[in-house]
Chains A and B, each alone.
Chain A
């Protein structure tokens, strides 16, 4: 018993956490007042009607039912699954572009102090621009781009916007990581008589791994959010973004339905974070942050 606990501690605790959320949802629905909890005119807890708060099992059950009442409509699960995969694919493309751009930026910033001073404020500033504002710009500029025979599509726009969110944590995290080696380590590399490039490979890149992994995970989460939101802003069909909007309309007659794409978004977020976790496993030796100085 104790062995099982130590071995699967994280899994058990995770399951308990999810169960706690589900239980409190249904408990509040069962016991809470129908009109919600109000202080004055301000509602601080929601109504508990079936319309406002469908039972958790109804939300799950909804996945097995046909997505619309039309004859021959596929079940909601496969529809949401397809949309999730579509969005995940775009997020992955965006993440990849974001990681490459972020790493390159961090590299030049760590190499040249003056570029860091010039560029870093812009990198930070870039994240203060609302996505909604840049979506039409990306689309318009994109349509002016033609590389080889490739014609710019809305999917490219979505991937670029996802990358726009994903590059930021990567650039900042990688920069910190590349600059993390101590003076002793840098002196040593100089004493070995090796130049910037080999110091980068021998010292700076391995030393940056503990900073890079959280940055990559953050980038993955940002890419998922960026892809879903960009689908809405660009007006691209086929992914979770549009589905969230479309299904929200059905809320009044089919209250469990809008939750389906939300769960889809949660699922692809977990998949994205899990993929980085696997990457972290592969890079495990470099995560050592021991006492060696």
Chain B
């Protein structure tokens, strides 16, 4: 099951996704090409309806592309899903309320027949990693939103995937919790070395977390530009600390992403009130 590191984590070529037919047809994604290298952190950013979540769902094989190919570590998206090549986290934690924190984290392991003893050890490791060891026996409704989201991330990491797919995982959290979670995510990614595809609509979040920020725009959903944060003088994503938010390179990258978001011909749309923050 080991990868030699030759195949990129994600490779999308000429991907189209069209919803509906005839007059109701919506081009959710048009001609998308994207490569995420092994161990690389890539964010997708853009206003609502730009297809960023759709792209993530295609990679996760929760949806199928109308045309084009997507490979994950050289496999088809479907095979990668069945082989548990990725872990996934959504905006809603998706924890099962009747299972304890430990029970939720071990769920994917249990479903894939990992022996109980191994499961117990792995869950202990993961709870240590997210700092919730004391809450192993709690139920999700006893946890704050940020803690629930940490449990969801631990669950996504349970099978040590080399790719994490995250669909606005911090979108429902307050700003303060959010920054703390971002710091933790950087640490967790550094420890696991996993590649990440991260969907967000927060510019600072995207820049702080990523090696590269992919900017998308709607109608039709497409990639309008890529900002390589490292080229702006930031250290690789895995090596960052909270202080990176005050660096010059951070502000430069934020400016570039903002320019790409607002400099598109879709500016008229933005002026009509689409949230582009």
Interface residues of A (CB under 8 A from B): 182, 184-185, 187-188, 190-194, 198, 202-203, 206, 209, 285-286, 288-293
Contact = CB atoms under 8 A, between A and B. Distances in A.
A291 B140 contact: yes
Contact of A188 (B82, B88, B143, B145): B88
Contacts of B81: 190-191, 193
A292 B92 CA distance: 8
Contacts of B263: none
A289 B96 CA distance: 10
Contact of A290 (B83, B88, B111, B141): B141
Contacts of A286: 98
A187 B61 CA distance: 10
B97 A191 contact: no
B141 A288 contact: yes
B111 A292 contact: no
A292 B148 contact: yes
A191 B141 CA distance: 23
Given A288-B98, A290-B140, 14 more contacts: A182-B94, A184-B91, A185-B96, A190-B61, A190-B81, A192-B111, A194-B111, A290-B141, A291-B140, A292-B93, A292-B96, A292-B140, A293-B92, A293-B93
Contacts of A192: 84, 107-108, 111-112
- Interface secondary structure of A, over-half rule: helix
11 contacts: A184-B90, A187-B57, A187-B94, A190-B61, A191-B88, A194-B111, A202-B96, A206-B96, A209-B98, A291-B148, A292-B93
A230 to B, nearest CB: 37
Nearest to B83: A193
Nearest to A199: B111
Q: Which of A182, A192, A289 has the most CB of B within 10 A?
A: A192
- Interface secondary structure of B, over-half rule: loop
Contacts of B50: none
B165 to A, nearest CB: 8
Given A184-B90, A193-B82, A285 B108 contact: no
Contacts of B107: 192, 202
Contacts of B111: 192, 194, 198, 202
Contact of A190 (B62, B84, B141): B62
B139 interface: yes
Q: Which of B60, B81, B92, B141 has the most CB of A within 10 A?
A: B92
A190 B60 CA distance: 9
Interface of B: 57, 60-62, 81-84, 86, 88, 90-98, 107-108, 111-112, 139-143, 145, 148
Contacts of B96: 185, 202-203, 206, 292
Contacts of A190: 61-62, 81
A18 to B, nearest CB: 35
B45 to A, nearest CB: 21
B98 A285 contact: yes
A88 B127 CA distance: 51
A41 to B, nearest CB: 59
Contacts of A289: 97
A281 to B, nearest CB: 15
A193 B98 contact: no
Contacts of A288: 97-98, 139, 141
A291 B147 CA distance: 12
B108 A184 contact: no
A201 B96 CA distance: 13
A184 B92 contact: yes
B84 A184 contact: no
Nearest to B81: A193
A289 B148 CA distance: 15
Contacts of B148: 291-292
A184 B140 CA distance: 15
A185 B92 CA distance: 9
Q: Which of A184, A202, A203 has the most CB of B within 10 A?
A: A184
